[in-house]
Structure 1
Amino acid sequence: MILVTGATGTVGREVLRLLAGRGVPLRAVTRDPARLSSVKTDVEVVGADFEAPETLRDAVAGVEGVFLLTAPGAWVPEHDLAMINAARVGGVRKVVKLSAVGGRSSTDDGGTMPAHWHAPGEQALAGSGLAWTALRPSSFASNALRWADAIQAGQPVPNMTGTGTQGVVDPRDVAEVAVEALLGAEHDGMALTLTGPDLVSVPDQVALLSEVLARPISTVEIPLEAARMQMLASGLDPSVVDVAVRGSQLVRDGGNAVVTNDVHRVLGRPARPFRTWALDHRGAFLDTEETARAAR
C-alpha cells in the first residue's frame, strides 16, 4: 500500500495514475475527498489534514510507502514534519518527498526561497531511520498554463525573469521518477535534482509556444515590485509572494541555470523538452473557437 499526498495536484494526480497503472494498492489523501471523486474506484480515498496529526496516523495505517507533497507556503516545514512523524510512528518503510531545486544547500536566504521551506523536511527524513528519496525539481513546464488567458486574448505574456534561464522540467517526468523511487531501492538515501534537458528562458518558452500554436506571441517585462503588489492584491499569502519575487530575481541573475542528468539516469531516457510539453498541452492555449476548428 502506497499513500499519495497532494493527490489533487499536477504531480500527485500523475503519481496516482502511474501507480494505479502498475496495479499498486493505493490510498490517496486529501482534505476534501470530494475533489478526488473522479479517480479510479480501486484507489482508497481518505480525508486527512496536515494540521490534524490524528488524521495522519489513521491515513498511514497499513501503508508501506508515502509520496509526500505539501502545498507551497511557510507552513511546509510543519506539514512535512507532521507526516514524517506519523510515518515513522506508523511503521511506514519509505517516504519520497517532493522538495525544491537547491534542497538543503540553499538555506541562507532569509527563509524566502522554496528550498528553505523544504530543508527541515529533508533533514528530518535523513535522520528518521526511514528509507527516503528527496526529489528537487526545477521550474515546472506546467507553470506556462498561467499564460493561457493572456495568449487566448492576444495579449503579451508577463515576464518576471527577463532572459534568465532554467532547466524547466515536465511534471510528468517528476511523477515517473517519484514512482521509480517509491517502488525500488536504487535511489534510497538520495536527493535527485530533476530538470529538463535544456536551459530555457520565458522568451524561449513563449517562442516555442508561438511555433506550436502557429501565432505570434510576445512578452512584456513586469517589474518585480509591481508583480509583488499585484500578487498581494490578488490575495496570495505574503510568504508565497516573497518566494515568487525572490525566486524571479534569482532566475534573472542566472542563479537557477542548472541542468542535470538525473531524470535520464532514473528513467533510462532523456527528460522531455519544453516543446514536447507544449505540443501535448496545445489545447489549453486555444480559445473555444480554435478548439472547435482543431477538432474538425
Structure 2
Amino acid sequence: MILVTGATGTIGSELVRQLVARGTPVRAMTREPGRMQPTPDVIITQGDFEDPMSLRRATEDVREVFLLSAPGPRVPEHDRAMMDAAVEAGVRKIVKLSAIGSTEQGMPGNWHAAGEQAVRESGLAWTILRPAGFASNALRWVPAIRAGQAIPNLTGSGVHAFVDPRDVAAVAAEALLSADHDGQIYTLTGPELLSVPDQVRQLSEVLGREFAVSDVPREVAAERMRAAGMDEAVVSVAIRGAELIRSGADKTFTADVERVLGRPAGTFRGWAESNGAAFG
C-alpha cells in the first residue's frame, strides 16, 4: 500500500492516477475527502499534518509514503510530523517532494531544508525530488485570457526550465515502486529554458490565438498576491523567486527526468497541447 499525501493537488492527483493505472494499491490522504471521487482502486483518508492521530491512521499498513507539504513556513513541522508517524508505522520508504533550489544558502523559501534532513536521518529508505516550476503554472493566466487582458509577466526575459507535472508524478511513481532510486536526490526540469514570452508564444501557436504579455512590477505583483489571500511569507518567497529568474540567476537544467524514465522530459508545448481546453 502506498500513501499519497496532497492527493487532490497537481502532483498528488496525477500520481494517484498513474499508480492506479499500474495496479498499485493506493491510500489518498487529503484534508477534505469530499473533494475526491471515491473509486474501487483508491482508499480515501482524511489527514492533517497538524493532527498526529490522523497521520497514524493514514500510515497504518503502508509501505511507502509520498510526502508533499503545501509551501509555507510550516513545511518543516509538517514533514517531521509525517516522518514520526511513518517510522512508528514501520513504513519502508519516503519519497519527498521538495523544490528546486529550496535548500541552497541564500535561495528563497528554504523551508524544505529541515524536511529533507528529517527524511535523510529517519533510518528509512528515501528519495528526494526537487522539481522546477510546473508547466501547469500557466493556468494562472486563464482569468486574464478569458477577460481579454494581457498575460502578466513577473520575470521579464528571464528563463526557467519548466517541468511537466506529469513527469514529476511519473518519477515519483518510479521512486516509490523501485529500490533503484533509494538514497537519490533528483532535480527535475523540462528539456528547455523558456521565458514567459516564450511560453506565451508557444501557447498562442497551440491555441491559434494571439496573446499579449504585460510586464508586472514587483510591488504590483506582491499586492495582487496579498489581495488573493496569500500568506505574507509565501508572497515574499514568490517575489524573490521571480526576481531570481528575471535576473538570469536561475537557469538550472538537468537530465534527471530522462535518467529515471528512460525518455526525454515533456516540453511546455506538449503540456499546452494536452491542456489547451483549460484556457477556454
TM range (shorter): over 0.9
Partner of residue 98, structure 1: 97
Q: Deviations over 1:91-150 (max 9, x none)?
A: 00000010000243x1434xxx23x11111111111111100010000100000000121
What is the match of residue 243 of structure 2?
249
Match of 1:173? 167
The answer to whether structure 1 residue 81 and structure 2 residue 98 are counterparts is: no
Unmatched runs of 5 consecutive residues or more in structure 2: none
Letter in 1 for 2:279: F
- The reply on whether 1:271 has 2:265 as its aligned counterpart is yes
2:29 is aligned with 1:29: yes
SS of match in other structure, 1:226: helix
Amino acid at match of 2:2: I
Q: Match for 1:252: what amino acid?
A: R
Q: Say whether the 8 Å CA contact 1:161–1:248 is kept in structure 2.
A: yes
Q: 1:233 offset after TM fit, Å? A: 2.1
Q: How does 1:210-221 map to 2 (within 5 A)?
A: 210-221=204-215
Which letter maps to 1:218? Answer: A
* Whole-angstrom CA distance in 2 between matches of 1:169 and 1:230: 25
Note if 1:154 corresponds to 2:148.
yes
Moved more, 122-131 or 226-235: 226-235
Q: Contact between 1:164 and 1:253, CA under 8 Å: does it hold in 2?
A: yes
More moved, 251-260 vs 262-271: 251-260
Which residue of 2 is the match for residue 235 of structure 1?
229
> Does the aligned pair in 2 maintain the 1:107–1:119 contact within 8 Å?
no
CA shift for structure 1 position 39: 4.2
* Equivalent position amino acid for 1:108 in 2: G
Which of 123, 132, 143 is equivalent to 1:129?
123
CA RMSD in angstroms comes to 1.0
State the shift of 1:47 in Å: 0.8
Aligned to 1:3: 3
- Assess if the C-alpha contact under 8 Å between 1:168 and 1:199 holds in 2: yes
Q: Where does residue 294 of structure 1 map in the other structure?
A: none
1:258 corresponds to which of 252, 259, 263: 252
Taking every aligned residue pair, what percent have the same amino acid on both sides?
A: 57
- Amino acid in structure 2 at the alignment position of 1:191: I
Partner in structure 2 of residue 58 of structure 1 = 57
Q: What is the distance in 1 between the residues matched to 2:247 and 2:180?
A: 35
1:184 pairs with 163, 178, 187, which one? 178
User: Is the 2:102–2:111 Cα contact (8 Å) retained in structure 1?
Assistant: no
Partners of 2:157 and 2:185 in 1: CA distance: 28
Partners of 1:39 and 1:99 lie apart in 2 by 28
Deviation, structure 1 residue 270:
0.2
Q: Note the alpha carbon deviations across 1:154-191, whole angstroms, 9 max, x for none.
A: 21100000011011000000000000000001111111
Q: Tell which deviates more after alignment, 250-259 or 187-196.
A: 250-259
Output the CA distance in 1 between the equivalents of 2:147 and 2:59.
46
Cα pair 2:4 2:26 within 8 Å, conserved: yes
In 2, the alpha carbon distance for the partners of 1:132 and 1:23 equals 22
SS in 1 for 2:111: helix
Match of 1:12, as an amino acid? Answer: G
Alignment partner of 1:280 is 2:279: no
AA of the residue aligned to 2:203: L
Structure 2 CA distance for aligned equivalents of residues 243 and 223 of structure 1: 16
Q: CA deviation at 1:235?
A: 1.5
Instruction: Structure 1: give runs of 5+ residues left out of the alignment.
Output: 287-296
With normalisation by structure 1, the TM-score equals 0.92
Match of 2:17? 17
Q: Number of residues paired by the alignment?
A: 280
1:279 counterpart letter in structure 2 = E
* Structure 2 CA distance for aligned equivalents of residues 39 and 177 of structure 1: 25
Aligned residue for 2:158? Answer: 164
1:186 match: secondary structure: helix
Query: Given the two structures, how large is their TM-score scaled by the length of structure 2?
Result: 0.98
The whole-number CA distance in structure 1 between the counterparts of 2:30 and 2:105 is: 29
Match for 1:173: what amino acid? D
Question: 2:207 aligned with 1:209, yes or no?
Answer: no
**Partner of 1:139 in structure 2?**
133
User: For 1:4 and 1:193, how far apart are their aligned partners in 2?
Assistant: 20
Matched position secondary structure for 1:95: strand
